[in-house]
Amino acid sequence: MVDQPLWEQIGSSFVQHYYAVFDSERENLGAIYIDSSCLTWEGQQYQGKTAIVDKLKSLPFSKIAHNITAQDHQPTPDCCILSMVVGQLRADDDPIMGFHQSFLLKNINDAWVCTNDMFRLAIHNFG
Partner 1 sequence: MACNKEVWQDLGEGFVQEYYSRFDNTNRMELGNLYSPEACLTWEGSPYQGREAIASKLASLPFKTIKHIITEQDFQPTIDGCILIMVFGQLKVDDDPPMAFHQVFMLKSQNCAWACTNDVFRLGIHNIPV
Nearest distance from C-beta of residue 72 to partner 1, angstroms: 4
DSSP string, 55-122: HHHT-S-S-EEEEEEEEEEEE-TTS-EEEEEEEEEEETTSPPEEEEEEEEEEEETTEEEEEEEEEEEG
Binding mask 49-88 for partner 1 (x = CB under 8 A): --------------------xx-x-xxxxx-x-x-x-xxx
Give contact residues for partner 1 (rule: CB under 8 A).
36, 38, 40, 43, 45, 69-70, 72, 74-78, 80, 82, 84, 86-88, 96-100, 102, 104, 106, 115-116, 118, 120, 122, 124-127
